[in-house]
Amino acid sequence: MYYNSNNDSHSQEPWDRPIETTGRSLDNEYVPDEPGHSGKKKGRGGKTVALCLVCALVGGLVGGVGATAATGGLSGGTTTIFEGERAPTVVNVAQVNGKTLLTAPEIYASFVGSTVGITTEVVTTNSWGQPVSAAAAGSGFVITNDGYILTNYHVIDGAQSIKVAFVDGTTYDAVLVGGEEENDIAVLKIDATGLTPVIIGDSDNIKVGEQVVAIGNPLGELTYSMTQGIISAKDRSITMQNGEVMNMLQTDTAINSGNSGGPLFDMYGQVIGITSAKLSSSSSSSEATIEGLGFAIPINDIKDMVQDIIAHGYVTGKAYMGITVTTVPESDAQRYGMSQGALVKSVDESSCAAKAGLQKGDIITAIDGTTVLSSAELVEAKKEYKAGDIVTLEVDRSGEKLTLTLTFDEDTPERRAAQEAAQEEEAQQEQQQSQQGSSDFFWPFGGLSPWFY
């Protein structure tokens, strides 16, 4: 099971409770804190102190260049504590030219100011029909100096309001310029100028084994965190939680809830991916247990789409059929004596599908000779075409084999909105017919969600 790592970051886990410390102990001897500091740490400061203590216990004491003697409480002898010294690391903002390898600190210093935390307000309806408002968190990054920001579509999906925050504490209200749900990208705009954009790289040039770093907001609370790993694989076909199949870069870089939409950098300081998902053994992001399997959208896959969204508000030239479909599973196909494929749930009467002769209840089994066994396979096949392309569909209509010729329309926001409205109306009609105990169409797959095409 794969899930999108965008939100659900507002639940408090047991380790979120502040831990208070009043000093540290060595050989049963109490050693007070440094002068000028109270022994008590509160809130996040307490977490930091506790973490340092744990690390010391796990790592042990190693030799250094200085020593301090302390009296042992039990043995009566002395215990030596070694203290190391080193010059502070000087990290400069690096000049990204695509030729010079950078260190992780240089990449962070250069682009943490280009990474944003995204908070959205989503209003849903509870089981009593009452509106409920909830906050969700994700990440994004600046792509132009005049305020365009790229993130994942699932980060802002259904949001009534969107805010972005920078590392210096500055926050802005953002508006949605446009999004592409199938490819999980969205472009936001804030009223700001003089920003520092990231440098877009070439994801085709990245090699398996190369190091990469990510900056984002895991859990929506550990803001502007950097994680590091390698590219584990390229061109992974990953089925997301919503059923979409996407091409992904696989990485062992830590990606968690709240990281979605953040940048994945190569070690030249260029963005080669958008962190989007991780593998989970559970359908709930809060119960994910599998580690080291994260995924990012290759930046080359969506470069042109982003430019289209900025210029037009949507991705132009996309193929549109004007139907909703769902999968006929193999087991149900055998049970009901149907062909396996993509079952047409509804047809937009003004679309190319209607002009081609597609009808509700048809099962699409092939497109241009390529077998279609599911709605997901039809999605993947359709991505290879543009508006105006002509294809041949093989269709099973109540056992009769048909061949239909279809010329794709262009997928526009207006067409999509009209189809969604038509589907909602049809769903209401079907519900009424079901309550009345009648229906003009036998639909054995009521539990399966249809896809838009």
| Residue 154 annotated as catalytic | yes
The span from the CA of 231 to the CA of 242, in Å, is 25
pLDDT (0 to 100) of residue 182: 85
Closest CA to 365 of 384, 339, 346: 339
pLDDT (0 to 100) of residue 63: 39
Q: What are the pLDDT digits (tens) for 353-369?
A: 999 999 999 999 999 99
The two three-digit tokens of residue 229, written as one number: 């790993």
The two three-digit tokens of residue 280, written as one number: 């989970």
Of 184, 266, 301, 362, which residue is the catalytic one?
184
Question: How much of the chain, in percent, has pLDDT values that exceed 70?
Answer: 71
Please name the residues in contact with 60: beta carbons below 8 A apart, sequence gap of 6 or more: none
Of 5, 9, 114, 260, which residue is the catalytic one?
260
pLDDT winner (highest mean) among 29-33, 421-425, 442-446: 421-425
pLDDT (0 to 100) of residue 6: 43
Query: Which band of pLDDT confidence, cut at 50, 70 and 90, is reported for residue 234?
Result: very high
pLDDT (0 to 100) of residue 222: 86
pLDDT (0 to 100) of residue 76: 58
Averaged pLDDT for residues 151-180: 94
Q: What are the pLDDT digits (tens) for 241-280?
A: 766 778 999 999 999 888 999 999 999 999 999 999 776 6
The span from the CA of 257 to the CA of 139, in Å, is 10
Averaged pLDDT for residues 94-112: 88
The two three-digit tokens of residue 119, written as one number: 């908070």
The two three-digit tokens of residue 126, written as one number: 């509870």
Of 8, 110, 114, 154, which residue is the catalytic one?
154
For residue 111, which amino acid is it? F
Please name the residues in contact with 384: beta carbons below 8 A apart, sequence gap of 6 or more: none
Return the minimum-mean-pLDDT range out of 53-62, 293-302, 310-319.
53-62
pLDDT (0 to 100) of residue 390: 97
Closest CA to 241 of 222, 260, 228: 260
| Residue 184 annotated as catalytic | yes
Strand partners, 139: 117
Return the minimum-mean-pLDDT range out of 97-106, 114-123, 279-288.
279-288
Pseudo-torsion of CA 343, 349, 352, 357, nearest 10°?
60
The span from the CA of 202 to the CA of 234, in Å, is 13
Cα torsion 211, 216, 218, 224: sign = positive
* CA-only gyration radius of the chain, Å: 27
pLDDT (0 to 100) of residue 283: 52
Percent of the chain as helix, strand, coil, to the nearest 5: 25, 35, 40
pLDDT (0 to 100) of residue 292: 85
C-alpha triplet 240, 242, 246: angle, nearest 5°: 35
pTM exceeds 0.85, yes or no? no
